[in-house]
A and B are shown apart, each in its own frame.
Chain A
């Protein structure tokens, strides 16, 4: 084949270097469109040709969307701009959320030779992260690490908080960061003028712009966190304080690696019930410590999960939490209520017959729970949603009285059930400890599976039982602890326990 007559290479058009390519990745509703139009405006009013594109449509309904701007100094003819960003060919990448920054890196829009990455470190969690029963939140650290490698310059801050604090939305603080980054050849005033010309929410936008600008330049004054008030003061009746102090002293007799956790645990159980209950907690930890050995994981984990098991979520605890000092003020703060405003708070409660019976004395409760007729009667009487206006006197009093039933709690069916469950679980772990220490630790950690209320609680308990049954199957094997950990993690993956059933199936295939 002849190549004669084919063109030869020439030097690339030096003017091509003048095209600035800017992409923005945002979640629907973050104002990506506004940001794009400001950027276009800055460019056009400073002697540049500019072109912006975006993807409209359903993607804007909370999905991830990409905006794209190209600009070049005005010449004798119009430049030919591209309509979408290309991997390896983006000068400025703005990511309005941390995982979107990750996505931009994944898509190749951030490259070490040229890209300034401006990213907000805040998270807008995706549904897939939120719906797992355990902790499914994606790792921002991994994205940060990747960004450090992928970007030529990496500018990051929580631009969402900066914007909200200044009464604006993230598009404004990101626009400030873009100006502050110096990545566009326009003076700061040009950016501010673009905001002014847009004419909507100008003041808030300018404040957020300022904050974003300063953050990008590294001159934002970090708000100094209030110095920790020297050991949060323990207050209360003198006798209780002294008794609590004595309990704290008992913690020092536990292995040191468990101290911090035991202190948190003690606070939780005493707050849940009383000093005597705290003493019981430490008795249990004492039993654990007696069979423990370095590195003392067993006591530390028991300090955590025994506290959680003892401070179970009953009606009394919920009612107490909803009638505590400081709650009203906290809600008012979160809702942004101003002086002169009133605050009405509605609680959504739905006690079932089971919850009512759980408050009965243990023996009587057990009898009632065993009788379908009586349960049906209770169901008719109580099983309906209650909306309590806890700012009203009657509703508050109901909750207040319920929350004050601590003296009664130890006699209830619920308490008896919880204590029996706790004892069986702890005894099992302690019995395992001499034979397979690691497995004992894993069995302790399985308590994490028990959480939630009503059906969710029941499902948690059944998963707990399944995992412990699985642990029994692998008991004696050298990898028993590892399998138990895997079972627990599988149980936290989905609601129905499909992953857990799969893992159990695997175990059955080899035992």
Chain B
């Protein structure tokens, strides 16, 4: 069960011709796929397109009604490979994953696909994880489109434009026998808005039709000499066909005054996805109206690869200065456009990087500064007086950079991964620091304070492989950490067969939280959930045994910090050679709460006995040293200042959000911290005998307490 359910929203996917859809970008894309007669869809989750996978999964009923196959691919490479169905068959297919990392993983399949060429439209929907909110290295997908020859679509970020580009993209793919990439940026995926629907279209030729009538053609196989023919075909036939199609269908757009001798002598070329940012800046400078009608000519590249030399040069005709707005680096578009101008012997001055920063996202401030600087340089009279000569006194706003703490993401309240890293921290105190390689997933948060465990990540499923150089062992064993998501994505083949084959003397810890948790709680092979359409409940340990790893320890409750610590210590110190793998399993608390909360509420209501645990701190016992927090970092374990002049430091305090996972008590015990913690279980609907016996106990205890209280000074309930 994914973190977010789209069951209600997917009903909107049934809207017909002329009806207006209002909602999120990812749903609009899904609707556009159905309107385009797609025959199969798939992909691999990852921000910002995780929810697109969730929508597809939740829409499976509708998809099968239409004869559309949905595959939750094992990884991006598998998703890319699935597009092979469009090579020989006239079936439209779409897969989605995040860029640039997903494209990295898929690149083998994508390169082969692009070489073979396609018959049915093939589309990769890439969630470009770049700029604020991104969780990966900052790179562009653009390079992949260029190197393998995928047409790269970057529509203006509104639902109407995005939906139109999905359908145009399939047409373009088929017209040029070339797969296309539809790039959606982080915010575009969740941007809301409206568009007018068309009817859903079942695929004319389904995947079932294809397997019933198999086809093959060795000319499509990437083997010499056909591979050389493919390359020639790419540039001689597919490319010109694409150019023609893009011009005829007017996929790129022009705004503002038309080019010509009387037109303005400056213009802006912009990636479709950057259009709204440019318009907002022009609006702020008084150069565009609310609907985006601009005083400055704008050439919008809804297709950023290939770039159309003719179309661009026509836009430049009669202009002296053209500004290219291209986010990210290297600046492929600007370089290519410069080359077009040079070859045409044009005298137009090209501006772009330099005015814009080389790296980083183009937020409002960057956009305003760069476009303002451009206009100041080439057309200062267009700028408002206030911008040209600012004389408004602005009050000095105090600098808060030293006050406001950073707030990076971290483990959620009750996360089952926390005790694993608390245990590792305890082992580190005993045995010293170890070489630790991490993977991709929630566990990577352990590299941040308070744990600071793990120094590098080399990619999804590559944690143990990243310790390859240390497989020979040494004074201290290297440790690798990998999540269950990473294990099934690529870890089993790239990491575990690697350590097994090379007889690594290292330790690998598999953090198994029952889901691909960091991407939103999607089911994977080892998930414990019942899933009608997917094979779940396949233990990781069995896969490990299967590839000949025999030292495997399974811990089925990660909150047992002492056992966790002892097992890690054993793995690090046992004389046994060869890879040692610890599979530490407990359910992702976010998902567990979502699953259990309604059930518990229902049970309490129905009068059944329920124990609800929560932790607390005796504030008079806590000394305010915060050692517990340094082994936890749980959001619900916080601090509070006491109203006591004798106390300097705030004491630990557990708030309402505690889910009673047990980590606090386990850590206090295993690390021998302090006796301040207690767990309180509120028993709802206790049994008759239980309630009677509790009454007896409480009467005796009450008598004992009263007896002692009577013999001592009572400071009116004020305890110091």
A125: contacting residue among B257, B639, B686, B701, CB under 8 A = B639
Is A13 interfacial (CB 8 A cutoff)? yes
What are the interface flags for B626-660 relative to A under an 8 Å C-beta threshold, 1 for contact and 0 otherwise? 11011001010111010011101110000010000
CB contacts (< 8 Å) of A88 on chain B: these are 365
Report A87 CB to chain B, min CB distance, Å: 5
List residues 235-289 of chain A with CB under 8 A from any CB of chain B.
235-237, 240-241, 244, 260-261, 264-265, 267-268, 270-271
Cβ-closest chain B residue relative to A112: B395
Query: Could you tell me if A334 and B674 are in contact, using CB atoms closer than 8 angstroms?
Result: no
A105 to B456, CA, bound (A): 33
Most A Cβ at <10 Å: residue of B627, B629, B679: B627
A235: contacting residue among B47, B280, B320, B714, CB under 8 A = B714
Query: Could you tell me if A83 and B714 are in contact, using CB atoms closer than 8 angstroms?
Result: no
A57-B133, A84-B364, A86-B363 known; A335+B717 contact, CB < 8 A: no
- 23 A-B pairs within 8 Å (CB atoms) are namely A2-B265, A6-B266, A19-B290, A53-B191, A56-B190, A61-B442, A80-B280, A81-B280, A82-B276, A82-B277, A99-B407, A125-B638, A131-B629, A233-B716, A236-B712, A270-B713, A318-B675, A328-B701, A343-B683, A348-B665, A348-B678, A392-B697, A453-B674
List residues 663-720 of chain B with CB under 8 A from any CB of chain A.
665-666, 668-675, 677-686, 690-691, 694, 697-698, 700-701, 704-706, 708-720
A315 to B682, CA, bound (A): 27
Query: Could you tell me if A89 and B291 are in contact, using CB atoms closer than 8 angstroms?
Result: no
Query: Could you tell me if B449 and A456 are in contact, using CB atoms closer than 8 angstroms?
Result: no
Query: Could you tell me if A350 and B672 are in contact, using CB atoms closer than 8 angstroms?
Result: yes
A335: contacting residue among B404, B645, B680, CB under 8 A = B680
Query: Could you tell me if B400 and A102 are in contact, using CB atoms closer than 8 angstroms?
Result: yes
A321-B621, A348-B675 known; A342+B683 contact, CB < 8 A: yes
CB contacts (< 8 Å) of B408 on chain A: these are 63
Query: Could you tell me if B718 and A1 are in contact, using CB atoms closer than 8 angstroms?
Result: no
List residues 392-412 of chain A with CB under 8 A from any CB of chain B.
392-393, 396-397, 400, 404
A127 to B639, CA, bound (A): 10
Query: Could you tell me if A342 and B691 are in contact, using CB atoms closer than 8 angstroms?
Result: yes
Query: Could you tell me if B365 and A108 are in contact, using CB atoms closer than 8 angstroms?
Result: yes
| 9-residue interface stretch from A71-79, A207-215, A430-438, A473-481 | A71-79
Is B38 interfacial (CB 8 A cutoff)? no
Known: A106-B401, A125-B638, A332-B682. 7 other contacts (CB 8 A): A5-B264, A6-B266, A9-B383, A56-B50, A128-B405, A128-B406, A267-B718
Is B189 interfacial (CB 8 A cutoff)? yes
Report B111 CB to chain A, min CB distance, Å: 28
Is B445 interfacial (CB 8 A cutoff)? yes
Is B482 interfacial (CB 8 A cutoff)? no
Query: Could you tell me if B648 and A396 are in contact, using CB atoms closer than 8 angstroms?
Result: no
CB contacts (< 8 Å) of A270 on chain B: these are 713
List residues 1-40 of chain A with CB under 8 A from any CB of chain B.
1-3, 5-13, 15-16, 18-19, 27-29, 40
Is B545 interfacial (CB 8 A cutoff)? no
Query: Could you tell me if B397 and A149 are in contact, using CB atoms closer than 8 angstroms?
Result: yes
CB contacts (< 8 Å) of A89 on chain B: these are 280, 284, 364
A5-B263, A106-B404 known; A83+B187 contact, CB < 8 A: yes
List residues 47-69 of chain A with CB under 8 A from any CB of chain B.
50-66, 68
Query: Could you tell me if B649 and A57 are in contact, using CB atoms closer than 8 angstroms?
Result: no
A331 to B403, CA, bound (A): 34
A137: contacting residue among B639, B644, B645, CB under 8 A = B639
CB contacts (< 8 Å) of B530 on chain A: these are none
Is A103 interfacial (CB 8 A cutoff)? yes
A195 to B565, CA, bound (A): 48
Query: Could you tell me if B290 and A13 are in contact, using CB atoms closer than 8 angstroms?
Result: yes
Is A219 interfacial (CB 8 A cutoff)? no
Q: How many residues of B sit at the interface, in one of the four size bands?
A: 35 or more
Query: Could you tell me if A72 and B625 are in contact, using CB atoms closer than 8 angstroms?
Result: no
CB contacts (< 8 Å) of B400 on chain A: these are 102-103, 105-106, 142-143, 146
Is B367 interfacial (CB 8 A cutoff)? yes
Is B562 interfacial (CB 8 A cutoff)? yes
Query: Could you tell me if A341 and B686 are in contact, using CB atoms closer than 8 angstroms?
Result: yes
A52 to B192, CA, bound (A): 5
Query: Could you tell me if B656 and A344 are in contact, using CB atoms closer than 8 angstroms?
Result: no
Query: Could you tell me if A61 and B412 are in contact, using CB atoms closer than 8 angstroms?
Result: yes
Is B51 interfacial (CB 8 A cutoff)? yes
Is B330 interfacial (CB 8 A cutoff)? no
Report B442 CB to chain A, min CB distance, Å: 7
Cβ-closest chain B residue relative to A263: B645
CB contacts (< 8 Å) of B384 on chain A: these are 9, 12
What are the interface flags for A354-385 relative to B under an 8 Å C-beta threshold, 1 for contact and 0 otherwise? 00000000000000000000000000000001
CB contacts (< 8 Å) of B645 on chain A: these are 260-261, 264, 304
List residues 265-310 of chain B with CB under 8 A from any CB of chain A.
265-266, 275-277, 279-280, 283-284, 286, 288-292, 295-296
Query: Could you tell me if B713 and A271 are in contact, using CB atoms closer than 8 angstroms?
Result: yes
Is B450 interfacial (CB 8 A cutoff)? yes
Query: Could you tell me if A16 and B668 are in contact, using CB atoms closer than 8 angstroms?
Result: no
Most A Cβ at <10 Å: residue of B289, B405, B624, B698: B405
Query: Could you tell me if B616 and A331 are in contact, using CB atoms closer than 8 angstroms?
Result: yes
Query: Could you tell me if A16 and B686 are in contact, using CB atoms closer than 8 angstroms?
Result: no
CB contacts (< 8 Å) of A142 on chain B: these are 398, 400, 403
Query: Could you tell me if A55 and B450 are in contact, using CB atoms closer than 8 angstroms?
Result: no
Is B614 interfacial (CB 8 A cutoff)? yes
Query: Could you tell me if A83 and B716 are in contact, using CB atoms closer than 8 angstroms?
Result: no
Query: Could you tell me if A348 and B677 are in contact, using CB atoms closer than 8 angstroms?
Result: yes
A244 to B712, CA, bound (A): 11
CB contacts (< 8 Å) of A460 on chain B: these are 625
The 6 closest A-B pairs by CB, nearest first: A86-B364, A232-B716, A57-B47, A55-B133, A63-B409, A385-B669
Cβ-closest chain A residue relative to B679: A346
Is B262 interfacial (CB 8 A cutoff)? yes
List residues 362-411 of chain B with CB under 8 A from any CB of chain A.
363-365, 367-368, 378-379, 381-384, 394-398, 400-401, 403-411
Is B186 interfacial (CB 8 A cutoff)? yes
Query: Could you tell me if A29 and B639 are in contact, using CB atoms closer than 8 angstroms?
Result: no
Is A454 interfacial (CB 8 A cutoff)? yes
Query: Could you tell me if A7 and B257 are in contact, using CB atoms closer than 8 angstroms?
Result: yes
A13 to B562, CA, bound (A): 67
A361 to B714, CA, bound (A): 29
Is A424 interfacial (CB 8 A cutoff)? no
Query: Could you tell me if A452 and B409 are in contact, using CB atoms closer than 8 angstroms?
Result: no
CB contacts (< 8 Å) of A229 on chain B: these are 716
Query: Could you tell me if A40 and B363 are in contact, using CB atoms closer than 8 angstroms?
Result: no
Query: Could you tell me if A346 and B665 are in contact, using CB atoms closer than 8 angstroms?
Result: yes
Is B48 interfacial (CB 8 A cutoff)? yes
Cβ-closest chain A residue relative to B256: A7
A29 to B593, CA, bound (A): 13
Is A44 interfacial (CB 8 A cutoff)? yes
Query: Could you tell me if B404 and A143 are in contact, using CB atoms closer than 8 angstroms?
Result: yes
Query: Could you tell me if A75 and B290 are in contact, using CB atoms closer than 8 angstroms?
Result: yes
CB contacts (< 8 Å) of B193 on chain A: these are 51, 78
Is B90 interfacial (CB 8 A cutoff)? no
Is B129 interfacial (CB 8 A cutoff)? yes
What are the interface flags for A495-506 relative to B under an 8 Å C-beta threshold, 1 for contact and 0 otherwise? 100000000000
Is A326 interfacial (CB 8 A cutoff)? yes
A396: contacting residue among B518, B625, B639, B704, CB under 8 A = B704
Cβ-closest chain B residue relative to A323: B705
A5-B262, A9-B381, A131-B633 known; A341+B708 contact, CB < 8 A: no
CB contacts (< 8 Å) of B295 on chain A: these are 7, 10
Query: Could you tell me if A135 and B650 are in contact, using CB atoms closer than 8 angstroms?
Result: yes
A79-B290, A131-B626, A304-B645 known; A62+B680 contact, CB < 8 A: no
Query: Could you tell me if B257 and A341 are in contact, using CB atoms closer than 8 angstroms?
Result: no
Is A234 interfacial (CB 8 A cutoff)? yes
A83-B157, A308-B646, A325-B706 known; A103+B713 contact, CB < 8 A: no
Cβ-closest chain B residue relative to A406: B712
CB contacts (< 8 Å) of B48 on chain A: these are 55-57
Query: Could you tell me if A86 and B367 are in contact, using CB atoms closer than 8 angstroms?
Result: yes
Report B325 CB to chain A, min CB distance, Å: 14
Query: Could you tell me if A84 and B403 are in contact, using CB atoms closer than 8 angstroms?
Result: no
